[in-house]
Amino acid sequence: MSAQIITCKAAIAWEAGKDLVVEDIQVLPPGPDEVRIKVDYTGVCHTDAYTLGGHDSEGKFPCVLGHEGGGTVESVGDNVTDVKVGDHVIPLYTAECKDCKFCKSGKTNLCQAVRATQGQGVMPDGTVRFKCRGQDVYHFMGCSTFSQYTVVSKFSVVSIAKEANLEKACLLGCGITTGYGAATKQRYIQGAQVAIFGVGCVGLAAIQGARAAGATRIIAIDTNSKKKSHAIHHGATDFINPLEIKDKSIQEHLVEITDGGLDYTFDCTGNVKVMRSALEACHKGWGESIIIGVAPAGTEIATRPFQLVTGRVWKGSAYGGVKGRTELPGIVLDYLNKKLDVDTFHTHSRSLKDINEAFHDMHGGDCIRCVVNMK
């Protein structure tokens, strides 16, 4: 029997800068290369707030935000073979087609098969699967997990072990995998001195990745001293609140205490001034700074070119460099085998009707991740 339109609840972002509105939405059946998912849980990431705040140059409204979900496959299109009805799945905002130039390069996880339409808020055929009050509603990051049901491309979803609790595993859809992957994928991190700027969900996961990969000194830097205990729990050896450093910049302080600078630094704030500090805290000749944070539209990074001439490297990472369909099931197994701590990132819970409170939680200073129960 072919799939029908589903009417369910979703949190609609009608316009930038306004609260989400939870109301009925119609979710169309999946196309031949698509998967319809019953979303069980979703995290709320800083990037959702960034787009809702009007800072995303790709932001399209009205839309269904959310990209850190876990759910169950409800129906699949005729050409879908890798996931089946009833599977537990994670939607992937970084798709993996396994066939494009990017996927086949072996150099990047940035599959381009659906990226152009994803950025326009539509499915690969150029149309949407959401309607509300008779109006088309855009998709977001190819996931739109703030709806009880969503439709994604078959390249943007992966099945995971059913033993993994989706209330926790949903966080592997973005924040944890992003930080953990970005650190573990650095080639020479074993024995390295590392600094992580911003220790929210992404930064804490980067600390955990650096520890797992054998970094010997891991310096956590955050303007919120309440993050210190979380940072130490995940493996930081030092915690610095940059607001407490007087008479010198944080990068000067870091260069001093590390005998010339860090081997690796990670920006997990999205603040372009912090990105500069992170680059300039790197060791001359070889230090590498990885930008993970997403900066507001219109902002730009700056440093003296001499910083790069003298051997520091500035680069970036999306979704931790992880290829979702190939690698995420193994990361979920690491979680199940207790090699990766996921549970302690889940500090707050909300129901769908209270989803706006999850955004307030995020800015409250004591929240790592708020998980929304979509039932």
Ligand X SMILES: NC(=O)C1=CN([C@@H]2O[C@H](COP(=O)(O)OP(=O)(O)OC[C@H]3O[C@@H](n4cnc5c(N)ncnc54)[C@H](OP(=O)(O)O)[C@@H]3O)[C@@H](O)[C@H]2O)C=CC1
Let me know if 67 is a catalytic residue. Answer: yes
Site residues for Zn ion, window 156-175 (CB under 5 A)? 174
Is residue 47 part of the annotated active site? The answer reads yes
- If residue 289 lies in a helix (H) or strand (E), which one and from where to where? strand 288-291
* Catalytic site includes residue 103: yes
90 binds ligand X (CB under 6 A): no
Query: Is-catalytic flag, 45?
Result: yes
**Considering only residues 44, 113, 143, 371, which one is a binding residue for Zn ion as defined by CB under 5 A?**
113
Q: Of Zn ion, ligand LAXINWYW, ligand X, none, which one sits near residue 56, judging by CB under 5 to 8 A according to partner kind? A: ligand LAXINWYW
The pairing of beta strand 217-221 with beta strand 193-197 = parallel
State the Cα–Cα distance between residues 263 and 230, nearest whole angstrom. Answer: 23
Q: Is 132 a catalytic residue?
A: no
The one catalytic residue among 36, 55, 325, 369: 369
7 is catalytic: no
Contact 30, 75 (CB under 8 A): yes
Which of 10, 281, 294, 355 lies at the binding interface for ligand X (CB under 6 A)?
294
User: Does residue 271 bind ligand X (CB under 6 A)?
Assistant: yes
Q: Which of 349, 374, 344 is CA-nearest to residue 71?
A: 374
Stretch that binds Zn ion, among 41-49, 53-61, 69-77, 124-132 (CB under 5 A): 41-49
For this structure, is 111 an active site residue? Answer: yes
Given 8, 72, 100, 216, the catalytic residue:
100
317: CB partners within 8 A, 6+ apart: 178, 181, 182, 185, 290, 291, 292
Catalytic residue selected from 63, 103, 143, 201: 103
Verify whether residue 268 is a known catalytic residue. Answer: no
How far, in Å, CA of 375 to CA of 373, rounded? 6
Q: Which stretch binds Zn ion (CB under 5 A): 73-81, 113-121, 305-313, 335-343?
A: 113-121
Using DSSP's 3-state secondary structure scheme, residue 242 falls into helix
**Active-site entry in 63, 111, 132, 370:** 111
Pick one of Zn ion, ligand LAXINWYW, ligand X, none as the site partner of residue 198 (Cβ within 5 to 8 A by kind).
Answer: ligand X
Residue nearest to ligand X (CB): 200
Contact set with ligand LAXINWYW (CB under 6 A): 45, 47, 56-58, 94, 110, 115, 174, 294, 318-319
Residue 129: active-site member: no
Helices (H), the chain: 46-52, 101-105, 115-119, 166-169, 175-184, 201-212, 228-234, 250-257, 272-280, 306-309, 324-336, 355-362
Q: Which two tokens stand for residue 7?
A: 């009417």
Q: How many CB atoms lie within 10 A of CB 281?
A: 25
- Spatial separation of the C-alpha atoms in residues 228 and 148, rounded to whole Å: 35
Residues interacting with Zn ion, by CB under 5 A? 45, 47, 97, 100, 103, 111, 113, 174
Active site residues: 45-47, 67-68, 97, 100, 103, 111, 115, 174, 369
